Amino acid sequence: MGSAQFAWREIRNLNLTEVPDGFPADPGICALVDLWRSKGGEGRLPARSDFSHADLFPWIGFVSLVDVEHAPRRFRWRLVGSMIAEKMGRDATGCWFDDLYEGQMLDSYVECYSRATDRRLPVYLRGDLEFVGKEFIHFNSVHLPLAEGDAPVNMLLLCLQFD
C-alpha cells in the first residue's frame, strides 16, 4: 500500500461509458495522448521505460499505472495518483482489482481496462462514481496501453480529469 492513507469511501455504483472521439476540449488529456504517441515507434507501443518522471510531471497526481496480467486476466494498481486517491478516499497502490472490487463493479473495471489492453489503442471513458450517501464524482479518463516491444500489453497509463 502507498504511503498516503485515506478513509475508504464505499462505492455504490460505477458507470463507465466509452467516448470514441475522446475529449478534444481537454488539453491535459490531449497532451498526454500526444506524448504517448510520440514515445511509440512505427507500429510499436511505448513502454513504461520510455517515460521519465519529467515527462509525466504535468499530470502528477492525476495519473495512475495499472499492471496487466494475461493468464488469467487480472489488473493491479501499481501506482495511484495522489489526487485520484484523495477523490476516491483511498490509495489502492499495490492492490489487485479482484481483492478490492466484486460483482458488477469488478466486471465493469475488467471489461473497460481490457479494451485498451486488447485493442492496443487509447480508450477514452466518461466515468460516474456513486458513493454510499449519494455523493457522486464525475470524471473523464484515458487509458493508454504500454508494452515492451511487440509483447502483449503489460501496463496501462491512466489519466483522470475530475469535473
Give the other-Cβ count within 10 Å of 43's Cβ. Answer: 7
**Residue 149 included in any domain:** yes
pTM for this model (two decimals): 0.89
pLDDT value for 5: 37
What domain range is 64 assigned to?
11-162
- Residue 27 burial class via C-beta count within 10 angstroms: exposed 0-12, middle 13-18, buried 19 and up: exposed
CATH of the domain at 130: 3.30.450.20
**Residue 3 included in any domain:** no
Count up the domains in the chain and report the number: 1
Each residue's pLDDT expressed in tens, for the chain with a length of 163 residues: 333 333 445 666 778 899 999 999 999 999 999 999 999 978 899 999 999 999 999 999 999 999 999 999 999 999 999 999 888 778 999 999 999 888 888 898 899 999 999 999 999 999 887 766 667 788 999 999 999 988 999 999 999 999 8
**Residue 92 included in any domain:** yes
**Residue 153 included in any domain:** yes
